[in-house]
Each structure stands twice: as structure tokens, then as C-alpha cells.
A and B are shown apart, each in its own frame.
Chain A
């Protein structure tokens, strides 16, 4: 079976800080990582391939350094990596991105399953999975936290709901978006990582012409939403730091809470 995993390289937004003076993001020194949910997707794909004699293709759209994300994917056990990179892809919203990824998946062809992380920690939209599934006209299941089994032309999964879960049977080919609860991703193997950096490594690099899109369909030009402005979230509180030893500060605090009728 052939499994395609969509992988995104993202800045580690848990480490990003806001410059208190300018309100701008401080991006220097923030490392690029494979999006956390995508690592769970890769882990799931690699386990399935082991059980079902399959092949895992990792696909990523990004600037040229995103190739590191593909190396990591191959370090975890993906058989092939494909990097979609082109200046024309820049500035894409999820519409344009899903068009680009969709075209690439079509070019890869003959896939049985597409697995992706539910949400990326930079865009935070969780839209790519469903939009790519729609582009390819295949069924989708989101919030997957368990892949029970693959039975012939179906896969049985558990989907997380706010107050429980569903057991869903999906016809293949299908697209699954997965959440962290699914598994514990392995660390990449050093020997595999090194192999993925060799010249003969099975990593392909595709641009707009390779997947047969027009620049008007992708990137900023192909987007249907546009950012009008960005700003720092407002922090409006005047903080009172309580002074003294444990007994005093707590006593002061409880006094304040009483004042506000909280106790």
C-alpha cells in the first residue's frame, strides 16, 4: 500500500517571543521543526507500512530549507521525500496551498491513504487536510486518535469528539488528520538521516511547472483570503506584585479576593 504523509516545517512557535517594545515577533534563533501533529502522522504511516508491506512518501511544500523536514521524515522511516518549492508558492493561503499539494498528490498517484497532522502550529487553521481531501474528491476523517485496522478497501478509525468519540469506517483511498493522542513518534535513526542527505537519496524537488500549475493558481496570486493586518494581542492588566513572605503575601491576596467578592 502507498501512504502519502503531508509534512510541514514550522517555526517552533512555543519558543517565539514578542518584543515588548515593538510588539513584533522575535524570530531569530527560533528553530524550525517538523510540525508536531505531522510527526504523529509520520509515525502512524511508518507503523502501517510495517504491518502492510507498504511505502511511505513524505510530501512538503515550503522554502528550500524545508528539505530538513523531509530528512527527518525519512529518518523516521519514510521511503521517499518530495519537496514542493518555488517562489510562486510563497504567500499562499490554505486554498492555494491545498491546490498545490493536491496537484502534487495527483502526480504521485496510486495512493491508498493520505495522513496529515490535524493542525500546524504556525497557521493554526487545520484546513489543509480537509481541503486537500476535497480537491482529490476522497473521504476524510479528522481528529483521528486511533487507527484500528485496515480491512481490504476500508480503514477503521476512532475519531475524537468533544465529549467522547466515534468509530468510523472509511472507504479507501481516504485522508486522515491525526492528533497527538494517536501515538508516540519515534526519533529519527542516525543512519537513515545520513542516508537522506546523500546525493542519491530518494528526495525529489518539484516546482510549479513540474506539477503543472499556473502561477495564478498558487501562492499569493492564487489565494482567496488575504491578511489585512497583524497586531499584537492586547495585554491590558496592571499587575500588582505582592511583597513579603509567604504568610503575608497570601494574606494580602486573600484580602484582595475578598474585596472583589471572589471568596
Chain B
């Protein structure tokens, strides 16, 4: 891609020199000369009246990807256990595959994980690419990236999906850069554009204020990471075959070593499994305010959670944060107390079945997503709820 001057046509008017934003045009013996600094931006081309400036830059065309087939799902496993998101993605992949008439494959990497292939086939995989090696036992970026790169180059898939987990959000961008493709992060919706037959990837942006639908026209495979808990796993008995991929990894080239893997032994908070969540925000005021919310949560048999503010203030631990940068939850009932309802928090709980909001400010945005709103001080209303619930139980 270059831009040059046809010297015989150049009149020496210097329009190009003035138009260039990079100082990449010089005059040499009365004629314009384009220097190596040139970025092919085309500004000079536009102002040359003699048509002396020429370029071999071609307009962008969509390449022919008709030979790219297959919807791949990275089957994330840790310690020999498949992450639920992989099964959810298989469900979605099945749907996309049916629309496109293409097969689903799962990528299974690890050590001694062949037994998991069955589960993947049961959940929709027509094929499982199995790569086993001691160096793949625990996830490491460059090791997994190399194996996936080899598989992608050999089998040329159309789409590659990964869960937006701590592993997925580390691996997917590395793979996308390695194989030279576009990647969309943290999608909440996937579908196929009927005209272009390409993957439409919808995700929240701008802190959740906006939904954006994104597509990748110019590179394959189309890659996306998908939020856990959004798609649905579908188990149906099917047939699939296993393709073993031979792994050649040099330990010294991997660049990282895991010295210790520590599972936090404290009571695991599972907000995504909770049927009822009582959440607090700035309005809780202090850790004491949260004790009242915990009591209410206990009355419901549910869990307590909170906003980013509550975590920053130290009223709840980070694993109880609900929101754009916290967890996404969809309980049967979400009781938001003293939460203004900034979009970042709403992004994490908007899909709850029923939402109750308690806030002193009648104009708090949280009321827009609530089924029932109570305007008042949670320090008065929540104890009242606890009181009345106690009386009902009697």
C-alpha cells in the first residue's frame, strides 16, 4: 500500500505539501516527493489538481469466507470439571448451527479430561477436539493460545465462542490477536443476520448505558465471549466423535508458572443460585445498615448483596457485588434498598423476576425497573418488613 508522485504530471504547486498532516511531503527539484513517514491517509490525493499523486490502496472488500464452516465452543474446564457456561454456549451454538446448517465442535484442553467429551456430546457437540498434555493441566495463556491457534489454522471454523469468565476474558483476546480476528466481549445476545449470514453480537457498553450490536465482516473465525448465565444449556442425546489433537509445547516458552492454586475456603457465596436477594446501596449508610438487610434476607431465606459503593465502603465483600463490574443475577425476587439505581447496578439485576425498590428519593432511577416501589427510609421500612414477616410466620 503506497502513495507516490508521478513526477511528469507534478506542477510543483505544493498543495500536497500543505495538506499532509504528517509532514511526509517534501519538494525535490521543484517536484513533490513523498517520504517514508507517509501513512497512506490520502489527504494529498484529494488536493492534487494534476492527478499526479497515485496510489495502489484498494477499497475494503469483504473476502470470500464460504469455506469457513463450524461453530466452535471453548469447553472450559477447571480441575476436571466443566464450567456451566460451556454447556450454555453449546445450547446457543446448536441454535446458530441449525440456522446456518453448520456443525458444532467443542474444544477440550487439559490433562486427563477425555471423560468430559461425553457430556459435551450430550449437550450438542457433533465433534470434540481433544488436546491433552501435562502442560495444559491448569489454564495458562500462551499454552492454551498455541493449541487453539493450531486447531483454528487446521480446521478453519466460522465462529468461535468462549464464556466470559476469568479464563475466557484472558484467553479470547489473546487468541483473537494471535489468529488475526475481531472479538466482541461479554455478549448477552447472539444471532445470525439473515442477509449477510454473519454473527450479530449484542453487548452492553458505556458502563451498561447502551446496548451495541457488533459484527465482524472481514476476518474469520468470528469470535465472541458470552456472559455466563445468559444462554441456555440444552441436553439432548446425540452422536459425536472425538478428534485428538497432538500437542507440542515447550515449557520454557510458556512464560508463566502457577506456583499455587488457592481455593478460598470461606463459605462460598452463590448469588446466582439465590432465589431471593436483598441488596443495599449508599442508603444503607454503614455496616449496621447492612445488618438489617441481612436479617431481612434471612427471613426470605435469601442472600444479601450490594452495589459497588457498598463494596468500596467495606460494608460487604466484593463477591456480593451486583452490577456491571460485579455479578449478574436473576433471582425470583430482588429487594433493592437505598440503591439509587445507576445503570451499572441495574445492568446486573434488571432481569430479576420481581423487583422491589425502597428509597427515600421518589425520583431515584431504581423505581423505573421496580415492580413495586416504596418511598421511604429503609431504616424504617426494612425493620417493619421483618416485623410483619415475623408475625405472619407465627
List A contacts of B229 (CB < 8 A). Answer: none
**Does B183 lie within 8 Å of A225, measured CB to CB?**
yes
Give complex CA distance A156, B350 in Å.
39
Closest approach, in angstroms, between the C-beta of A178 and any C-beta of chain B?
Answer: 13
Q: Which 10 pairs from chain A and chain B are nearest by CB? A: A139-B255, A13-B207, A224-B182, A209-B22, A225-B182, A134-B177, A130-B173, A127-B173, A209-B37, A125-B185
Given the interface pairs A14-B344, A134-B177, A263-B300, the reply to whether A254 lies near B214 with Cβ below 8 Å is no
Contact in complex: B182, A162 (CB < 8 Å): no
Residues in A with CB closer than 8 Å to B259 are 156, 166-169
What residues on A are CB-neighbors of B185 within 8 Å? Answer: 124-127
With A and B bound together, what is the CA distance between A253 and B145 in angstroms? 53
Q: Which residues of A contact B142 (CB under 8 A)?
A: 139
Residues on B with beta carbons closer than 8 Å to the beta carbon of A32: none
Say yes or no for B263: interface residue by CB 8 A criterion: yes
Q: B177 contacts which of A130, A227, A239, A241 (Cβ < 8 Å)?
A: A130
- How many B residues, CB 8 Å from partner? 97
- Binary interface encoding of chain A residues 222-263 relative to chain B, with 1 for a CB under 8 A from any of its CBs, else 0: 011111111111010111111000110111011011001011
Give the nearest-CB partner of A218 in chain B.
B39
**Which residues of the other chain, B, contact A215 by a CB distance below 8 angstroms?**
39-42
| A209 and B23 within 8 A (CB) | yes
A64 lies within 8 A of chain B by Cβ: no
Task: Point out the residues of chain A lying under 8 angstroms from B376, CB to CB.
Answer: 246, 249
11 A-B pairs, CB-CB below 8 angstroms? A14-B342, A98-B177, A140-B170, A142-B170, A225-B215, A229-B213, A230-B211, A232-B211, A235-B369, A253-B356, A263-B300
* Contact of B215 with A228 in the complex, beta carbons under 8 Å: yes
For A223, the chain B residues whose CB sits under 8 A away are 182
Chain A contacts for B165, CB-based, 8 A: 162
Asked whether B370 lies within 8 Å of A239 as measured between CB atoms, the reply is yes
Q: Encode contact with B along A4-16: 1 for CB under 8 Å, 0 otherwise.
A: 0000000101101
Q: Which one of B170, B264, B350 has the highest number of Cβ atoms from chain A below 10 Å of its Cβ?
A: B170
Q: Which residue of B lies closest to A242 (CB)?
A: B374
Chain A, residues 117-135, CB within 8 Å of chain B (1/0): the string is: 0010111111111110111
Residues in A whose Cβ lies below 8 Å from that of B354? 257, 260, 262
Q: Mark interface residues in B346-363 (1 if CB within 8 Å of A CB, else 0).
A: 010010001110000010
- Residue of B60, B212, B216, B332 near A262 (CB, 8 A) is B332
